[in-house]
Chain A
Amino acid sequence: MSEIVVRSRGLTKHFGGVCALDGIDIEVPRGSLYALVGANGAGKTTFFSVVAGFLRPTAGEVEVLGQRAPEGGVLRGRLGMLPQDASFLAGVPVLEQLEFCAQLQGLSAAAAKHAAMQALDAVGLGDVAQRNPRALSHGMLKRVALCQAFLGNPELVFLDEPTAGLDPETARRVRDLVRAWRGHRTVVISSHNLAELQDLCSHVAILHRGRIITAGTMDAILASGCVFRCVLDEPADAALLDALRALAQVAKVSVLDRELTIEGTNGTDRRAAAQAILECLLALQQPPRSFSEGASLERRFLEAVGGKSDGLGGT
């Protein structure tokens, strides 16, 4: 059994009368890329903040890298985080702020400067190292914050919406970076881009109104039951849907724009069901753009929260 690096038991956080986290139980295995999915206000950022020690829990307990009630002084340099709404100190060049972070992690002044400059160069911000954070755009600040999160190569990294506000190319680079960390580091990541998370992560937890609705490996969550996901070039017409529903191996067909989710009947052979569905599509001259076993994370999420997610797709 793999080592657990983040474990919470009954983690609860209230802000006045508002319950942001309601008894969260979660276990994050070492080396996993763990997706935290939820609508706006579901409690993702609050969970990150409590686990990182920024917010004090109202009840419950959390253990990070073997430490209970983690404090920066204990986990110094082992835990990195990209907070969603933290601002750098105005008036102090970003390079100096990163240097200071690196020094707090134990580097000498010269080594800290080198590490900070190297990190800024790596994200294409070497030229603005001496700038006041106020002079940087949202995307540039996000990249500086990413540098900060990875400074000193921490074992465990929390990324709260890392690609929000980034241009597509930079967002892709960030995804590549996270993917390259698989096995080397544990990354807990939240995003409203569910396709991105489905592509990246090995584990997922769905959070709704401060509670974990479901959690487990991505494969297990997506592949439960006999389900096929099919993307067409055009939205499916009534004739195609009727033909699919008429198949003996198909119990239910759901439509989301050009995406079909087809659930097999109980006890049916998966291979036979897939073959029948594909033959049906080809017969009606609607070859699928993609066909895969298992539902999309988006569909699983909508099913889990009862299809009432207003915050999805925002970023």
Chain B
Amino acid sequence: MLRKQRARAKHTPHVPNQVRITSLTMLQETQRRPGGLTALAVLNFIFAGFSLMGLLFMAVAFVVLSTVNAAELDKAREDIAAAVGNAGLAAIAVNIALSLVALVLQVISAIGLLRMAPVMGRVMGNAFAVVSIVAVVVSVVMGIPFGVGTVINLLYPLLTLLLLNFTFRGDFIRRDAGQWGAAGGEAAASVASGINSAQFENALIHSGASDAAGGVAGAATDLAASAGARRALVASFGWRHALRGGSAVLYLLTLLGGGLMIAAAFINPVESLLHDSKPRAAERAAEMLRSGMAVDAIGWITGASEATCEYFVKEQPTLQSAILLMLLAFMPFFACMGGFNQTAGEIGSKGLRFLLLRTDRRSLFLGRFMAALVFSTIGLLVLTVVTTLYLAWKLDLYSTPALLWWGAQGTLALWLVMLPHLAATAWLSASLDSALAAFSLSMAVVSVPIALLKGIEIAVEKLSDHKIAWIERFMPWGWKYELLDPAWDTRLIASAMMLVFTVVFLAGGLRRFQGRDL
């Protein structure tokens, strides 16, 4: 008998108690971790991978520079300087050391965030952000060139600081205060005691018994009496919690990362020219930017008249024009990222039902749209302000007032392009029951008609030699470049068309939202 028991025990996988408890704790952390923190942790791992690659490159540069003899040093330095500037060995060594510390802290904080550990997650995450920022500052001070890549490197640590110390601060502090109990045990014990009958009666029965006809018990003044106030409430709750859900973190990083990469694609070659030690480098760069080649390139991208292209190239800061025009082309996709889940996810989970008891469908739909708009606008402002300030501060090619004025016009144009696309995603989101379906269809709705109309346009031009560019005017896409047209009346018409599209899409979405089962 004893032998049988021993044999059974031998074949039964042994799970130590400690492992079981840890697994349970991890499961509990997963259940109460906001989606935004999960997204941050996953991004930490992804960016740590990129940092590791950068670190390896710096290490190779360091080895090359420190091992070549004096005769070869200049040639080697010349090759490496293209990437790391004229920084000396010391600068590279310091940069490697700080990057290594940041990398280790980033990986530790990623694990800590997944486990919702206050020290390992929040403290280490803050430490990673601070060390990363210090590393950028030190590297610039010691001679490694500051470029758009550096701004992108600063962006993520700054976002980490913002999220950990504002958005998710309470998630860690509450645990420190012991309100949740060490491993859920204390909370479970108190919850197991169930409903407190006397308290329940006092709180939920007697307090309202004398107020049977009043509806809103205990409210001296009804603060959500007007539809506008209710919409504002829905909007403010929506955009504050968009970050916690995680999708907004991804949207911000996509918009800022993608937007800055677009900017970098134009700025980096010009910066290389400016760093050229040859005489009149700045003048040569400016001349190149104002050349006929630049006019042709912008004409090819925008399909605008030569006069309009010359306006973009010669009368406005060319580099900024190129960035804004490219951002205008990408803005519909960025807007979809910011707006696809206005209602779809909660229609699927039936979570809107708690709100439908308290507010009308119109306020809910428009409030959610306003939330997406506020959030997307903040992201857009950060992107255009960073880009404009970079051009003003780093490149000595254009006057600051000219950059600020053209930047403001560009921001308004981008915002106007964003509007109808956010409205279109609101319509789609109100029509579907799944956030994933809403995301996929939003992207398809933006890209498929563009591809289709472009295809028709090209085919007709090839076959009949007729230009039918007007066909694109059936979508907001067809009006986007005219938002920066030199003629103000053209701009006004394009702006009005964007507003018309917005109203039409919003009306369609509202009609669908009001008529459907939720």
Contacts and interface: CB of A to CB of B under 8 A. Distances in A.
Interface of A: 49, 52-56, 71-81, 83, 85-92, 96-97, 100-101, 103-108, 111, 115, 118-119, 121-128, 130-132, 134-135, 140, 143, 147-148, 150, 152-155, 167, 169-170, 173-174, 176-177, 180-181, 184-185
Question: Top 6 closest A-B pairs, CB basis?
Answer: A153-B208, A73-B360, A135-B32, A106-B222, A104-B358, A173-B195
B251 to A, nearest CB: 15
A212 B20 CA distance: 52
B204 A169 contact: no
B233 A100 contact: yes
Interface centre among A72, A78, A118 (most CB of B within 10 A): A72
Nearest to B199: A122
Interface residues of B, number: 72
Contact of B211 (A53, A127, A153): A153
Nearest to B356: A72
B223 A121 contact: no
Contacts of B293: none
Nearest to A186: B212
Contacts of A180: 201, 205
A174 B196 CA distance: 11
Interface centre among A85, A91, A123 (most CB of B within 10 A): A91
Contacts of B197: 173, 176
Contacts of B196: 121-124
A79 B196 CA distance: 24
B346 to A, nearest CB: 7
Interface of B: 28, 31-36, 170, 174, 179-181, 186-187, 190-191, 193-197, 199-205, 207-209, 211-213, 215-219, 221-225, 227, 230, 233-234, 237, 241, 244-246, 346, 349-351, 353-363, 515-518
Contact of B355 (A56, A72, A115): A72
Contact of B195 (A83, A132, A143): A143
Contact of B200 (A56, A83, A122): A122
A91 B219 contact: no
Given A52-B353, A54-B353, A74-B360, A89 B346 contact: yes
B217 A91 contact: no
B223 A108 contact: yes
B351 A107 contact: no
B358 A105 contact: yes
Contact of B515 (A56, A89, A108): A56
A114 to B, nearest CB: 9
A71 B361 contact: yes
Contact of B32 (A131, A150, A173, A184): A131
A90 B245 contact: yes
A72 B515 CA distance: 14
A132 B34 contact: yes
Contacts of A176: 197
Nearest to B237: A100
A73 B230 contact: yes
Nearest to B230: A104
A76 B28 CA distance: 36
Contacts of B223: 103, 106-108
B241 A89 contact: yes
Contact of A105 (B219, B353, B515, B518): B219
Contact of B358 (A56, A77, A85, A86): A77
Contacts of A148: 354
Interface centre among A52, A79, A89, A131 (most CB of B within 10 A): A89
Nearest to B241: A92
Contacts of A143: 195
B356 A104 contact: no
B277 to A, nearest CB: 54
B233 A72 contact: no
Contacts of A54: 350, 353, 356, 517-518
Contacts of B361: 71-72
A77 B216 contact: yes
Contacts of A73: 227, 230, 359-360, 362-363
A91 B247 CA distance: 12
A157 B516 CA distance: 23
Contacts of B363: 73
B20 to A, nearest CB: 19
Contact of B357 (A52, A123, A132, A169): A52
B351 A86 contact: yes
Nearest to B348: A87
B350 A177 contact: no
Nearest to A168: B194
Given A72-B355, A127-B181, 8 more contacts: A52-B356, A53-B356, A56-B515, A72-B360, A85-B350, A125-B191, A130-B179, A153-B208
